[in-house]
Amino acid sequence: MNPYLITPSIIASDFTRLGEELAACESAGADWIHVDVMDGHFVPTITVGPLFVEACRRATKLPLDAHLMVTNPDQQLEVFAKAGADRLTVHVETCPNLTQTIERIKSLGCKAGVTLNPSTPASALDAVLPLVDLVLVMSVNPGYSGQKFMPEMIGKVAEIRNKLNALRSQAFLQVDGGMAIDTLPLMHSAGANVFVVGNFAFKHPLGVGEAVRLLRGCVPA
């Protein structure tokens, strides 16, 4: 078992070669495939939906980790579960009854994650921390790929790590946004153990395999 997980964000890949990109992630030893779903409403950009998740499902055996940046995720949970997502992560800002949403995700046979925008305080998650399988901290404002890492989010990761430890929770603590070999170690030492990587993985001149190898080696043992 790797000490921390690497989850390439497939929307940063070359969609004309989706099957090859997923195969490259698999042979690079990526742990999950992260799918950034954006609806053009909760966030300004539109990316991909359930048909894309279904295509990924046919092309890889790796767990599919869908991050739903959408208004009304409750209406979309079933279709993403049926498309083959293994993990569904919803934004606290979009769920009027977050506990119910988490229970629904679990009843669909998926692992339930929760996330929050950079401007939302960690305390917004307090009520659901005991229920979730994963907490995702956004280290950029959601909506675009390739944004700059926000160092202010290191403290938020540390705060949530303390809360999870106090609950003796085994939930993953994931970070999404601006992850590379200089930023990953900062979030790792704050307590994160799952890292979404976009451009660093897919735009690396030596390919995704070398990128994942560098990310695995960037935290001193």
Show which residues are catalytic. Answer: 36, 176
In this structure, the number of other CB atoms found within 10 A of the CB of residue 44 comes to 12
Q: How many CB atoms lie within 10 A of CB 5?
A: 18
Minimum CB separation from Zn ion for residue 69, in Å?
7
Of 90 and 164, which CB lies nearer to Zn ion in the complex structure? 90
Give the separation between CA 197 and CA 8, rounded to whole angstroms. Answer: 5
Closest CB 24 distance from Zn ion, rounded Å: 19
Least separation in angstroms between CB 166 and Zn ion = 26
Q: Which residue is nearest to Zn ion (CB)?
A: 67
Asked if residue 149 lies in contact with residue 178, where contact means CB atoms within 8 angstroms, the answer is: yes
Name the residue type at position 109. Answer: G
Measured from the CB atom, is 67 or 104 closer to Zn ion?
Answer: 67
Nearer to Zn ion by C-beta: 62 or 221? 62
Contacts to Zn ion by CB under 5 A: 36, 67, 176
Name the minimum Å distance from CB 220 to Zn ion.
27
Orientation of helix 18-28 relative to helix 50-59, angle to 10°: 60
Angstrom distance (rounded) from CA 162 to CA 113: 18
Amino acid at site 111: K
Minimum CB distance to Zn ion smaller for 77 or for 221: 77
* Of 139, 132, 119, 120, the residue nearest 197 (C-alpha): 139
* Strands 5-8 and 194-197, sheet pairing: parallel
